[in-house]
Amino acid sequence: MDADVIVIGAGLAGLQCARRAQRSGHSVMVLEAEDAVGGRVRTDRVDGFLCDRGFQLLNPAYPAVRQWIDVPALELQKFGVGVVVRSGQTTTTLAHPIRHPRHALATLHSELTPVSDVVAFVRWMVPALLRRSTASTFARDETLYASFDAAGFTGRLRRDVIDTFLAGVLADSSGESSANYARQLMRFFAAGVPGLPHTGMQALPEQMAASLVKPVRLGTAARDLTETADGVQVMTDSGTIRARVAVVAVGPQNVADLTDLSTPATRGLTTWWFRAPALLQAGPFLMVDATRPGGGPAGPIWHTAVVSEAAPSYAPTGENLVEATTLLDRPDGLAGQADVRRDLARLYQTSTRDWEVLAHHVVPHALPAQRPPLEDLGPKWTGSRTLVAGDHRGTGSIQGALNSGDRAGRTVVDFLAP
């Protein structure tokens, strides 16, 4: 045997699984098809800018992050807890009144936050507030929009802010995602201050990989996986690897390549990264657009941020890095550069003619589709020695991937126990 455990895929789930099994004294080998660890959490360095492969944030309030990640070592640069709302010619900053007292009065007295809407929003959140559990299942589930309607949450706060914000976070503009999943995310947003590591999001998986005794075998795709009487065999282009048990942590779009599970549905988005020379003063917040009559963005961009205002290490001194995210479930999800540039000019009320595109990341399988009822499926045995893990077995998030990987690690440790 080459190892007790072979983990296929060095995303967050695979890495956490490997660390858990290693901690129990097992020899572990991790295979990764790409040239670096991280899976969906990767960072490109472009001309001194850090462009994550799809804008995302790390929320230190995730229990899995608190438990298993050395957060101080990541030197998180904090985003604001709130949003800037662009509506026609008006810009309003709505922010957590305690964390951002400077914006408290404007937030509480905004036309976007009438008391009736705030009360309805709290009513919608009640199931998540009453249950302290981080489990993804609450008593009953329904689609996001049906749950908003049922809670009477139908005013401007929903239409102009929350619908658009959550569509960007869930990569779902249809409102058909699980209400319980959305509640869980909102609870984490309220509990923590999301941020970006000093050297980019990839610092998170790199920190995890650094604690493995055997380095991850990069550029090594598993081509085939078969079970034998006493273990598993994994074919790679450089030979066959044998182990006592395999964990397949390859992401939703690849799970059917190596197991008999069907491919889970996913949702996609794209992120444009721009070098913006002019000093933009949007604050360390995400901006959402509520210009379309009835709510929602008037152009292809569902959220944008001057990332370097919150995370200065993402841009060289004196320069700005701007992200703009479009959704692939929209007809304009693959809008061209000219349209995105025009939309940014409208949103930031400035010329974007000189802004330079640094990168455009198209991520068709960014997140598993989280339709109701949200179920915490847990790692799954697909043979007597093959276990499947990943965010698609829990929730589509850093929390979900880490948790699934850890559970898979504990499951194989139990399996290998004498």
- Asked if 141 is part of the footprint of ligand FAD (rule: CB under 6 A), the reply reads no
Nearer residue to ligand FAD within complex by CB, 82 or 400? 400
Nearer to ligand FAD, 112 or 245 (CB): 245
Task: Pick one of 254, 259, 304, 411: the residue that binds ligand FAD (CB under 6 A).
Answer: 254
Tell me which of 5, 6, 13, 51 binds ligand FAD, using CB under 6 A. 13
Q: Using the rule CB under 6 A, which residue among 22, 26, 54, 83 binds ligand FAD? A: 54
Stretch that binds ligand FAD, among 86-94, 153-161, 349-357, 396-404 (CB under 6 A): 396-404
Among 144, 363, 369, 387, binds ligand FAD (CB under 6 A): 363
Contact between 32 and ligand FAD by CB under 6 A: the answer reads yes
| Among 5, 7, 8, 18, interactor with ligand FAD by CB under 6 A | 8
Q: How far apart are CA 120 and CA 138, in angstroms?
A: 19
Tokens 């055997």 belong to which residue? 214
Which residue, 60 or 175, is less far from ligand FAD as judged by CB? 60
Q: Which stretch binds ligand FAD (CB under 6 A): 50-58, 92-100, 299-307, 315-323?
A: 50-58
Q: Is 250 in the site for ligand FAD (CB under 6 A)?
A: yes
397 forms part of the interface with ligand FAD (CB under 6 A): yes
Total chain residues near ligand FAD (CB under 6 A)? 36
- Note if the bond before 331 is cis, omega within 30 degrees: no
**Does residue 33 have a known ligand-binding role?**
yes
Shortest Å distance, C-beta 33 to ligand FAD: 4
Contact region with ligand FAD (CB under 6 A), list: 20-28, 51-59, 352-360, 406-414: 51-59
Chosen residue from 4, 6, 7, 9 binding ligand FAD by CB under 6 A: 9
Other C-beta atoms lying within 10 Å of the C-beta of residue 199: 15
| Residue from the set 22, 43, 56, 77 that interacts with ligand FAD by CB under 6 A | 56
Among residues 6, 243, 249, 311, the one that binds ligand FAD under rule CB under 6 A: 249
Of the candidates 120, 301, 401, 413, which one interacts with ligand FAD according to CB under 6 A? 401
Q: Please enumerate, by residue number, every residue annotated as part of a binding site for FAD.
A: 32-33
Binding site for ligand FAD (CB under 6 A): 8-14, 31-34, 39-41, 54, 56-57, 221-222, 249-251, 254, 257, 269, 363, 366-367, 390-391, 396-401
